Amino acid sequence: MSVRRFMIHSRTVRDGFATLEGDLYNHMVRVLRLGTNDVVQLADENNTVYSGTIDQLGKECVRVEITSTSQAAPTDSPEPRITICQALPKGDKIDLILQKGTELGAADFLLFGGRRSIAKVREDQINSKIERWKRITAEAARQCGRSDIPGVAWRATAVEAARDSGQELRLVLWEGEREHSLKEVLSAESAAPASVVVAIGPEGGFDPLEIRHFTEQGYQPVSLGARILRTETASIAILAVMQYRWGDM
Ligand code: SAH
């Protein structure tokens, strides 16, 4: 098996050793059952890659003795940068979307309160929600060996979510779209765009007014075909398609 790589912060490295605690400790020791003398790679926020060996295993921290250091090209955020602009779904479906989306290489997630979103986020809950969502992307990034962690941001409405867009290609998956299929739209784009944003509605779908907000910001409405997919399926499927068409899949 290839050597596992873990994302760390450069401040955990000192005098030739990296000391890892918390979630990363749990993942390495409890989940992957790594132990003394196991060889690992660590990558920090500057794309420095440290190769080393676990030399101390404590109850709360693990120490890696660093044997070599190199500079990696930032290959873990390949183009296109895909942003998933997702209306908040019910219950814990968002966890699945963040986890699977991270595995499938989403660059970041912009979550918003859809008019038909059943789940609501109160203003005073936003920060703790975002923290929880970021923990999910961090954990998924770690689990799939990605060294960057997708960002998660929140917008209260579709109008605000649409307004943020600077991406080269902007799509809104709309169950009500009858003319343009995803296949058509993708085959019309000859060169791979550097950045893409895809908006996806909640269980109840998009309100036509929301579609207008998106189209006013240059989003093209596209259909995924006659079958209505669940919001989480749509989100996961579009990433797989994009990665196959333009990414590294
Ligand atoms: N309740 C709605 C369906 C919502 S599906 C209805 O019955 O019409 C949830 C979201 O997934 C949609 O808003 C859309 O963004 C996406 N989606 C699901 N199936 C789709 C399809 N066939 N074409 C385009 N988008 C789709």
Q: Give residue 213 CA to ligand 1 midpoint distance, Å.
A: 17
Instruction: Choose one of 86, 228, 233, 238 to mutate for the ligand 1 pocket test, by most ligand atoms within 8 angstroms of C-beta.
Output: 228
Nearest CA to ligand 1 atom 11: 231
Q: In whole angstroms, what is the distance from residue 154 CA to residue 174 CA?
A: 21
Q: In whole angstroms, what is the distance from residue 159 CA to residue 112 CA?
A: 9
pLDDT at 126: 94
For residues 136 and 228, the answer to whether their CB atoms sit within 8 Å is no
For ligand 1, is residue 238 a contact (CB within 6 Å)?
Answer: no
Q: Give residue 222 CA to ligand 1 midpoint distance, Å.
A: 10
Domains belonging to the chain, first-starting first, are 4-71 (2.40.240.20), 81-245 (3.40.1280.10)
Q: Give residue 177 CA to ligand 1 midpoint distance, Å.
A: 10
What lies within 8 Å, CB to CB, of 179 at 6+ separation is: 223
For ligand 1, is residue 87 a contact (CB within 6 Å)?
Answer: no
Torsion of CA 29, 32, 37, 40, to 10 degrees: -110
pLDDT in tens, the chain (249 residues): 568 888 888 999 999 999 999 989 998 999 889 999 999 999 887 888 999 999 999 999 999 999 999 987 655 556 799 999 999 999 999 999 999 999 999 999 999 999 999 988 998 999 999 999 999 999 999 888 887 899 999 999 999 999 978 899 999 999 999 999 999 998 888 788 999 999 999 999 999 999 999 999 999 999 999 999 999 999 999 999 999 999 888
The β-bridge partners of 20 are: 62
Starting at the edge strand found earlier in the chain, the sheet holding 195-200 runs 151-155, 108-112, 81-87, 195-200, 169-173, 220-222
For ligand 1, is residue 205 a contact (CB within 6 Å)?
Answer: yes
Nearest CA to ligand 1 atom 1: 204
